[in-house]
Amino acid sequence: MARGRYRVVHYLNQFFAQIGGEEKAGIPPQVKEGAVGPGIPLQQALGDEGEIVATVICGDNYFGENIETAAEAVVELVAPHRPDVFVAGPAFNAGRYGIACGAACTAVRKRLGVPVVTAMYEENPGLELYRKEVFVIPAPRSVQGMKETIPKLAGFVRKLGLGQPIGLPQADGYLPRGIRVNAFVERTGAQRAVDMLLAKLKGEAFQTEYAMPTFERIPPSPAIKELSAATIALVTTGGIVPRGNPDRIEAASASKFAAYSIAGTDDLTADAYQTCHGGYDPVYANEDPDRVLPLDAARALERDGIIGHLHEEYYVTVGNATSVANAQKFGKAIAERLVAAGVDGVILTST
């Protein structure tokens, strides 16, 4: 029995859908039957195997001003067509369009579980925002690149439509998403290291297996003006918890943080507290937990009026092997709670 054609839904902005230019950038999400605009050469490239059953269109400004609701509306328009693949763009270097493509793809993938792909230029702001969420085929900067991009995009749509496994970026023609995946390879790490060093010494081309990451920079908060009126909180990634680790914070790769009351406590002692952090010699912290969470010092400073008030809870997690993504999540959540509680400043200790 011949396999039916896989179903594709395509996403375009108002311009590529041939509705209009900037003056039509505010149009809300809508759907048309079959292929539209660049969808037509895309359909040709897909041949008999895949069918673009519908095209969802939205104005770039409408999307940009209502990302969440627009993405949701796109999902609602896509769903009835039961696609096997959702493809957006190509967006080239159009920033609002690239963001809309990324957001639409992410929403469709998450809400409908449909495989997604888009295409845009490497510097399109949409790439930075959505590169981890969706497959992105590299496209040239300008619309002149449509002719070379369509076959690449079609090739990837085809792989998704036929349920073929997606391999490494270089092999399958998509931009690396920064997702690290383990695999067993031919040569040992030691062999690969010596190979790489010899290539480097000979001036031959080599490919590093891990490019140095960059970390986000946060603008500094303004200084505290009146310390003697300020509320200061203590936070630690050093794993200081009440004895018995009641919330079972993990020794490594923490999946949570916790808050514990220090109301009426002047000093952290070995009988009441311990460390649960698996990444350092625990002996000193277990003898005197103040060595990691300086409660005794903070309380003395409160008593002497140097700080206005020591916040009645401290926050703790374990920074051992804990992923940056989780650390960011915890940090945001802790910050929200501290701000809501009127805290002005934080002493954060790490081991």
Partner 1 sequence: MAAIVPISMTVGANRIVPAVAIPHPLGNPALPERDERELRLRLVKKGLRALQTDVEKQTVFDG
Partner 2 sequence: MRLELGIVKIRDVQFGETTRIENGVLYVNESELIALALRDPRLAVAEVGLARPGESVRIIPVKDVIEPRIKADGAEGYYPGMAGGMRTAGSGRTNVLRGTNVLTVGRIIGYQEGFVDMTGPGAAFSPFSYTNNVVLILHPVEGLPEHAHEEAVRLAGLRAATYLGEASRGVVPDEVQVYDLGGAIDPTLPRVAYVYPVLSQGLLHDTYLYGADAKSLLPTLIHPNEVLDGAIVSGNCVSACDKHTTCHHLNNPVIEDLYRRHGSGLNFVGVVVTNLNVTLADKERSSSYAAKLVKLLGADGAVISKEGFGNPDADVMMLCKKIEDYGIRTVLITDEYAGRDGSSQSLADTVPQADAVVSVGNANAVITLPPMDRIIGDLRPAEVIAGGFVGSVAADGALSVEIQAIMGSTCQLGLGKLAAQEH
Task: State which residue, 138 or 331, has the beta carbon closest to partner 1.
Answer: 331
- In the complex, the smallest distance separating the C-beta of residue 216 from partner 1, rounded to whole angstroms, is 6
Report the C-alpha gap between 59 and 260 in whole angstroms: 49
- In the complex, the smallest distance separating the C-beta of residue 351 from partner 2, rounded to whole angstroms, is 8
Task: State which residue, 144 or 208, has the beta carbon closest to partner 2.
Answer: 208
Q: Which of 171, 218, 263, 325 binds partner 1 (CB under 8 A)?
A: 218
Report the C-alpha gap between 196 and 2 in whole angstroms: 49
Q: Does 287 bind partner 1 (CB under 8 A)?
A: yes
Residue 287, token pair as written in the block: 């003898």
Q: Does 251 bind partner 1 (CB under 8 A)?
A: no
CA distance between the termini of the chain: 63
205 binds, among partner 1, partner 2, none (CB under 5 to 8 A by kind): none
Give one DSSP letter per residue of 137-154, joined into a string.
EE--SSGGGHHHHHHHHH
206 binds, among partner 1, partner 2, none (CB under 5 to 8 A by kind): partner 2
Which residues are within 8 A (CB) of 341 and not within 5 positions of it... i.e. 6 or more apart?
231, 233, 311, 313
- In the complex, the smallest distance separating the C-beta of residue 225 from partner 1, rounded to whole angstroms, is 8
Distances (CA, A) of 48 to 35, 45, 134: 14, 9, 26
Choices 14-22, 110-118, 126-134, 210-218; region in contact with partner 1 by CB under 8 A: 210-218
Q: Does 350 bind partner 1 (CB under 8 A)?
A: yes
The answer to whether 107 and 137 are in contact (CB under 8 A) is no
The answer to whether 109 and 74 are in contact (CB under 8 A) is no
Q: Does 238 bind partner 1 (CB under 8 A)?
A: yes
Q: Which of 284, 305, 321, 333 binds partner 1 (CB under 8 A)?
A: 284
Q: Which of 224, 251, 252, 335 binds partner 1 (CB under 8 A)?
A: 224
The distance of Cα 37 from the centroid of its chain, to the nearest Å, equals: 32
Helical pair 95-112 and 67-78, crossing angle rounded to 10 deg: 60
- In the complex, the smallest distance separating the C-beta of residue 194 from partner 1, rounded to whole angstroms, is 28
Based on its alpha-carbon atoms, the radius of gyration of the chain, rounded to whole angstroms, reads: 27
Helical pair 146-161 and 39-46, crossing angle rounded to 10 deg: 50
State the DSSP code for 223. P
348 binds, among partner 1, partner 2, none (CB under 5 to 8 A by kind): partner 1
Q: Does 227 bind partner 1 (CB under 8 A)?
A: yes
Q: Does 206 bind partner 1 (CB under 8 A)?
A: no
Distances (CA, A) of 34 to 20, 40, 81, 89, 163: 19, 9, 11, 15, 22
Q: For binding to partner 2 (CB under 8 A), which residues are involved? A: 132, 168-169, 176-194, 196-198, 200-202, 206, 208-215, 248, 250-253, 255, 276, 278-283, 319-321, 323-326
- In the complex, the smallest distance separating the C-beta of residue 312 from partner 1, rounded to whole angstroms, is 18
Q: Which of 146, 292, 316, 338 binds partner 1 (CB under 8 A)?
A: 292
Q: Does 282 bind partner 1 (CB under 8 A)?
A: yes
The interface with partner 1 within residues 24-53 (CB under 8 A) comprises: none
